[in-house]
Structure 1
Amino acid sequence: MSAATTARTAPTDGADPLARERAHLAASRSALRAMREDVQSLDIRDVTANWVNAAVLQSQIEDRIKALADLSHTPLFFGRLDYLPTTQEGRRFYIGRRHVHDAVGDPMVIDWRAPVSQPFYRASRKDPQDVGLRRRFGYTAGDLTAYEDEHLTDPSETEQTSKLLQAEIERPRVGPMRDIVATIQPEQDEIVRSGLSGTVCVQGGPGTGKTAVGLHRVAFLLYAHRERLARTGTLVIGPNRSFLHYIEQVLPALGELEVKQSTVDDLVAHVDVRGEDTAAAAVVKGDARMARVLRRAVRSHVTIPTEPVVVVRGSRRWRVPAYELEEIVRELLDRDIRYGAAREALPQRIAHTVLVRMEQSGEAPDDRVQDSVARGPAVKAAVKAIWPPVDPAKLVLRLLSDADFLAEHAEGLLSAEEQATILLAKPPRSVRAAKWTAADAVLIDEVTDLVQRTQSLGHVVLDEAQDLSPMQYRAVGRRCSTGSATVLGDLAQGTTPWATASWAEALAHLGKPEAAVEELTAGFRVPREVIAYASRLLPHMSPGLAAVSSVRETPGSLDVRCVPEHGLDEAVVAACTESLRHEGSIGLIAADSRVPALAAALTAAGLPYLSPGEETTRETRLTLVPASLAKGLEYDYVVLDEPSSVITAEPDRRTGLRRLYVALTRAVSGLTVIHAEPLPQELSA
């Protein structure tokens, strides 16, 4: 922090300032309860025109009631700003997760997203922003137990670190991810409050809070642009279901209930995924060149007409010659609109040509005649022959099954070797019988968009973005083509064979090349000793990428133990037992192949454990985590099993080092590394 701090704990004197703050907390909770009761008492029976409006209004009321819930374990306010008399008339504001007002409408708690709350995060001794005092509050189980003052304009006070701020960051975590409204730092706040119109890419190493920043930016945008985003929608995209489960409570805790969550696989779930690609095939299918291959394949269905269309109307026949049909078709192709939209336009264009003929002969047809001609058998037959419908799944299956068809449309784009890599050795009989892979589903989504435009949302948050293929970026980009995005990731944690090499390249595939790239380098979650140890890998896997500089020095947070090979499982179980003596969550991370053996060892030792995605409780705080699912998760204490196994489980050493880097940086309070094999040489000092 940038101002002097003075921490006080609860005294017995009822006249103490802490007692007055507790009284304000009690009064604020009472006011929030009254706000909720006011909404619950609303009678809408006589204010709606029909049952549809009544249902919509009732749903909105129910959402409002949920948003006004008082979570007893969550502090209603966490800070206070006392402005100088020069601004805000010297007023005092309590800063919290939501707005609370009293019976006459005067604010008792100000929403952290309101402009008047911004100095709580950005004011400093150098720039106090007209704030005389900033007060932080400490809580235990929802009860206010301490406060800490910073006098930003008092020259006699010296710069110190906020103890309450550090305690909140280090507070043990049991259950899903928490919000960080009480601990947002100035550089994070700038990103959180950036505007809706622009896309922001956040490069952040482990513990820099990039995921929390992205979620809080959604909450801020919903506050500042609620009507617009209510119409267009918001979406958070995570790497897997375990990760989404971990973060799912952050936005509801901030009063935001309508934000949807998804994985990329969920977005493109046009077919049932039952197969798995080789790494080589997945890389080719995920390459951006496949978009051009697919576009060629779609457009190849269009046939330039060689026969005229003859429309019979009563006793007269109207002829549209082949050359005019060709002109219409080529014009539609040149306009490069969606295949389906062009197919819908073609019969109207042909019918309009017939109408022109009718008018030239002295008739006076209207729009109804044109629609009738467009729906007539002659025009329908011509459209079916010239511009037939395209089934996206059938087209992709043909491309992956028919070597000649693939070669025709991949010429000059994919080499013969690359084509052979993605061709199916034994083509299935039908779309239903095909064992589709995750990469295939993305290709089908691309074709679906070529045929019919994908609906765009107002804002999309894409987390762990470094692991997406170019084609996956395109799939996400279609969901925010007319909106904006928040892209979150760390190039050093890219662990897929197609992981992005640079944010400029990734943003271009996303369709947001103009996006601003912000870098978070200050770590708040991972202890300095742990992040320094993990950062030894950076020069070998992501040279040139800045290491995270942790603000937390925690002596004893790193313990590296070498054990005999025959005693590895027992040593891991012992380390987990030791970690469970501390408060908070425990993560046992191991190479995927080691998980069954460790599961058996934990069971034999009588240690209950969870799988990623299952919520920790005070009774069961240990989670057994395959290294492939560790990304994005955090635990108070981590036991890492056999680092060399994490590396060798990957197809190449660089990817293995990145997987190990992820595993090493999941701990908030302490990391214990257990190994029997020699440590990777890259970890040597």
Structure 2
Amino acid sequence: MERERAHLAASRAALRAMRADAEALDIGDVTANWVNAEVLRGNLARRIAALADLDHAPLFFGRLDYLRHEAGRRFYIGRRHVHDTEGEPMVVDWRAPVSRPFYRATRQDPLNVALRRRFGWTGGELTAYEDERLSDPDAEDRAGALLRREIERPRVGPMRDIVATIQPEQDALVRAAVEGTVCVQGAPGTGKTAVGLHRVAYLLYTHRERLARTGTLVLGPNRSFLHYIEQVLPALGELDVRQSTLHELVADRVPVRGTDTPEAARIKGDARMARVLRRAVRSGVRMPEEPCVVVRGSRRWRVPAYEIEEIVRELLDRDMRYGAAREALPQRIAHAVLVRMERAGEAPDDRVQDAVARNAAVKALVKQVWPVVDPAKLVLRLLSDADFLAVQADGLLTAEEQRAVRWERPPRGVRSARWSAADAVLVDEAADLVARTPSLGHVVLDEAQDLSPMQYRAVGRRCSTGSATVLGDLAQGTTPWATASWEEALGHLGKPDAAVEELTQGFRVPREVIAYASRLLPAIAPGLSPAGSVREAPGSLAVRTAAPGELTGAVVTACRAALEREGSVGLIAAGPRLPELAAALTAAGLTPLEPAEETTAESRLTLVPAALAKGLEYDHVVLDEPAAVVAAEPDARTGLRRLYVCLTRAVSGLTVLHAAPLPAELATERAVRAEAEEVS
């Protein structure tokens, strides 16, 4: 232990020296101009920030002693690389190839590893270790306790990285090739979000230059979720990954201030709307009725209307984006003029063609035949003009569906319109039909099961030449347009050949809790297998009945009892119940936090609307009135899926309190018996 602590002290000193060297760099003599200086200064600032020694995080968490070919080589595995003054590694980045056996080696396949050591930490201090002698078949391993302790460790504050506890099946997904898109179907507690974030960190390590040029993006369902995960990548040394919600991604074109009915949102999110928009964008194209006459000097060059029509039809048939085709049209007309010039004995060059393309007659004809399209104005007209919508949606949307998506009171203009989130996606689609959306190198899409086909298309545009990591759970789909199958979703994303992998082994949610929640699966996702869990925690589930009028008081009592334990506490309730619960908690001296607020040692209770619970985790969860959670949704199936989400947010203990009868799917004989035992 003393030798390991000495190595820790030496490694921390080496990291401080690396940071001091970076801070001492003088860029004044190596830059030719101020632009280069600013770029280099920014890169250097990020390098210095990445070399920070985090007091609360261990510098290394494992050690590998290799057997053959690497005889005498010992590697400490940590969150980032640390080397001494001679350049020798003191800590190896967990993403390096030499670190891979730390996650993959087994007694059956030791991968040339003689010993794997895991370290236990309290705060930033090394306090324990345990060994696995993988190459010795007779050795008695005592490993597992530190790993379980790290997985089950209570948490206060944002999500932590799982770099010390990545399991082999997770590691295989994390290290998948950057060229391929991976879809992870993961039950609650299987670590799918952590897999996605660590995959970004791994890809940035192995393809730094490529992804620095093309960019990376993490998309989450809401700001509360992004706040919860925002510290994971910085803790792994990755500071430049953009994190956003899908709504923020597409709302830069129009401000989102309105809402849709569930039916309108469902139709606007349907893939058929892409075809409606395509028709609408091209609806302004008109075939010419008059020839184009170009005057150059004393000569007049005439291109007949039928020839221009042929050019227009060819551009339409080539399936080019509207804006690119519009830019090509004057060049094609100019080329027709140049052909006539050559036939007349002239020798025009490219400069002449460009000049003809800018000729006033050509520009006037292009304006008439292929007018400019403003995406927002086009969607505004589509949702306001019944006749225009009827023409573009003919054979695609029924009359009832057209009425559902039309605005009852058409706005006067783009700025005054109360655009909804679904409208913003339509504008984004129209904009891409006009001009190509730039593609990123890699996109992580979390909670993907809640996206509509049109939203998948919006994400797919952002990774059309890159790859994606799609994360979700079909059982947790809580929107009217929730994903029916990953194959269908990946088709809308533009990645039909993506590999679909399933994680069913849970590590955080106790077995008793996940088994209770899984009773809902036959009703909400009959094709999925119930999730398992490596964690057995007797007494982690309590289902209690309160008398009518006493439910709120029972909830306050349960929250107070949960706060007597270590870790974070989440009180999850349906929206209509929130004001009463907040007032009762405050009156009892237990003023709750909002989901976006960070928990601290002094303030650990968060009041969570059921609609925002997805993706969040708490050590202890108190769930108020399951029937109210179900009733708050537009239909029973969506309500049961929302309930499934709420039941699976606990990583240590779940207390369910109800005055109304439980949903029939939960009120089995076993549940009634467990409830009776809790009451007694």
- TM-score, normalised via structure 1 length: 0.96
What is the rounded CA distance, in whole Å, between the counterparts of 2:241 and 2:416 in structure 1?
35
In the TM superposition, 1:184-195 aligns within 5 A as 184-195=166-177
Which residue number corresponds to residue 527 of structure 2?
544
1:208 aligned onto 2:170 = no
The reply on whether 1:318 has 2:301 as its aligned counterpart is yes
Q: 1:106 aligns with which of 80, 88, 99?
A: 88
Q: 1:138 aligned to 2:120?
A: yes
Alignment of 1:321-336 (within 5 A): 321-336=304-319
Matched, 1:237 2:222: no
Which of 641, 653, 665 in structure 2 is aligned with 1:682? Answer: 665
Deviation at 1:404, TM superposition (A): 1.5
1:12 is aligned to none
Q: What's the secondary structure of 2:244's corresponding residue?
A: strand
Partner residue of 2:571 out of 588, 592, 615: 588
Alignment partner of 1:604 is 2:587: yes
> TM-score with structure 2 length normalisation?
0.97
CA contact (8 A) 2:50 2:237 kept: yes
Q: Partner of 2:482 in structure 1?
A: 499
- How far is 1:647 from its partner? 0.4
- Contact 2:132/2:143, CA 8 A, preserved across alignment: no
Partner of residue 308 from structure 1, selected from 291, 300, 304: 291
Specify the code of the residue in structure 2 equivalent to 1:576: C
Distance 1:439 1:367 in 2: 45
Secondary structure of 1:566 counterpart: coil
Q: Partners of 2:554 and 2:59 in 1: how far apart?
A: 44
Does 2:10 match 1:27? yes
The answer for the alignment partner of 1:475 in structure 2 is 458
Contact 2:131 2:142 in 1 (8 A): no
Q: Is the 2:130–2:142 contact (alpha carbons within 8 Å) kept by the matching residues of 1?
A: no
Q: Count the aligned residue pairs.
A: 667
Pairwise CA distance, 1:330: 1.0
Residues 1:44 and 2:23 are matched in the alignment: no
Task: Give the letter for the 2:216 counterpart.
Answer: T
Cα offset, 1:362, TM superposition = 2.2
> For residue 180 of structure 1, what is the amino acid of its counterpart?
I
- Once residues 461 and 565 of structure 1 are traced to their aligned partners in structure 2, the CA distance between those partners, rounded to angstroms, is 45
Please tell me whether residue 117 in structure 1 is matched to residue 112 in structure 2: no
- One-letter amino acid matched to 1:119: P
Show CA shifts across 1:77-99 (max 9, x none). 00001111x23124111000000
Could you tell me which residue of structure 2 aligns to residue 53 of structure 1?
36
Aligned with residue 619 of structure 1, among 584, 598, 602 = 602
Separation in structure 2 between the aligned mates of residue 123 and residue 364 of structure 1, nearest angstrom: 72
Q: Partner of 2:76 in structure 1?
A: 94
CA distance in 1, matches of 2:55, 2:613: 31
1:491 offset after TM fit, Å?
Answer: 0.2
Residue identity (%) = 76
Aligned with 1:249 (options 209, 227, 231): 231
Alpha-carbon RMSD: 1.0
**2:534 matches 1:557:** no
After superposition, give the CA deviation of every residue in 1:5-44 in whole Å (9 maximum; x if it has no partner).
Answer: xxxxxxxxxxxxx111000000000000101111111111
Shift of 1:646: 0.3
| Equivalent position amino acid for 1:519 in 2 | E
Report the secondary structure of 2:549's partner residue.
Answer: helix
SS of residue paired to 1:587:
strand
SS of equivalent to 1:670 = strand
Aligned to 1:374: 357
Looking at structure 2, the residues matched to 437 and 591 of structure 1 have their Cα atoms a distance apart, in angstroms, of: 23
| Displacement after TM superposition at 1:158 (Å) | 4.9
- The CA deviation at 1:475 is 0.2
Match of 1:409 among 392, 412, 417: 392
**Residue in 2 aligned with 1:13?**
none
Determine the structure 2 residue equivalent to 1:443.
426
For 2:439, the aligned partner's letter is S
**Aligned residue for 1:78?**
61
Give the aligned partner of residue 296 of structure 1. Answer: 279
- Of 151, 171, 174, 2:133 maps to 151
Distance 2:412 2:332 in 1: 38
Residues 234-278 of structure 1, C-alpha deviation per residue, up to 9 Å, x if partnerless?
A: 000000011011101100000001100111111111111111111
1:338 to 321, 327, 331: 321
Please give the secondary structure, in 1, of the residue aligned with 2:300. strand
Question: In the aligned structure 2, how far is the partner of 1:350 from the partner of 1:619?
Answer: 73
Report the equivalent of 1:180.
162
Distance across 1 between alignment mates of 2:207 and 2:415 = 43
Report if aligned partners of 2:80, 2:236 keep a CA contact under 8 Å in 1.
yes
State the AA in 2 paired with 1:562.
T
Contact 2:476 2:641 in 1 (8 A): yes
Q: Distance in 1 between matches of 2:474 and 2:527?
A: 11
For 2:52 and 2:233, locate their aligned partners in 1 and report how far apart those are by CA, in whole Å.
Answer: 13
Of residues 260, 263, 270 in structure 2, which corresponds to 1:287? 270
The secondary structure found in structure 1 opposite 2:468 is strand
Runs of 5+ in structure 1 lacking a partner? 1-17
Deviations along 1:486-511, one digit per CA (max 9) or x if unpaired, are: 00000000000000100000000000
2:210 alignment counterpart: 228
Structure 1 counterpart of 2:355, which letter?
Answer: S
